[in-house]
Amino acid sequence: MIMKTTIKSLCLLVLTLILFNCDNDDDVNAVNEDVCNYAGFTFLDTSDNTQTLIPEAELTTDFYYTSSNGPEVEIYETANPSDFWFVTLVVADGATGTGQLNLGGTIHTVNVACQRTGNAVGEEMRYDITASGLEAEFCVIIDLYH
């Protein structure tokens, strides 16, 4: 019985470490990995260490190449787009800048680093996002291209 409980605990620990790892490409000299640690949105509230995950399948990624602001990306929760969205003009691989992240009606101006970019439907995009009290990552697939 103890062995069974220990194995379950170890399996749960390994699964937790794999799923909740929020480090796709944080090292400045890192080479982009072929697979995401978590496909979707990973959010860490650093003030209380709570973590939020939204799977990629529940997100829509719009790449607006012909936007009046220049190329931009919008990512939103498909079932609840007014409650959760992210928008940025940072679309080039290795580029940095700012964006806006709406979490439950609170809009945060965030620092954005583009870790991987795509420019067609089905291609991957990755973002590292930081602001006071938060750290987040997106690892998403472009759904719509305009």
Residue range 33-90, pLDDT digits in tens: 556 778 999 999 888 988 999 999 999 999 999 888 889 999 999 999 999 999 999 9
Pick the closest to residue 89 from 104, 74, 106, 102 (CA basis).
Answer: 74
pLDDT band at 14 (very low <50, low <70, confident <90, very high): very low
Position 66 scores a pLDDT of 86
The residue with greater pLDDT, 16 or 52, is 52
Phi–psi pair at 17, nearest 5 degrees? -65, -35
Q: Which domain holds residue 67?
A: 2-145
Residue 108 burial (10 A CB sphere; 0-12, 13-18, 19+): middle
Q: Where are the alpha helices (DSSP H) in the chain?
A: 2-19
Given this model, what pLDDT does residue 69 score?
85
Q: Are 75 and 101 in contact (CB under 8 A)?
A: no
Overall number of domains in the chain? 1
CA nearest to 118, candidates 143, 97, 99: 143
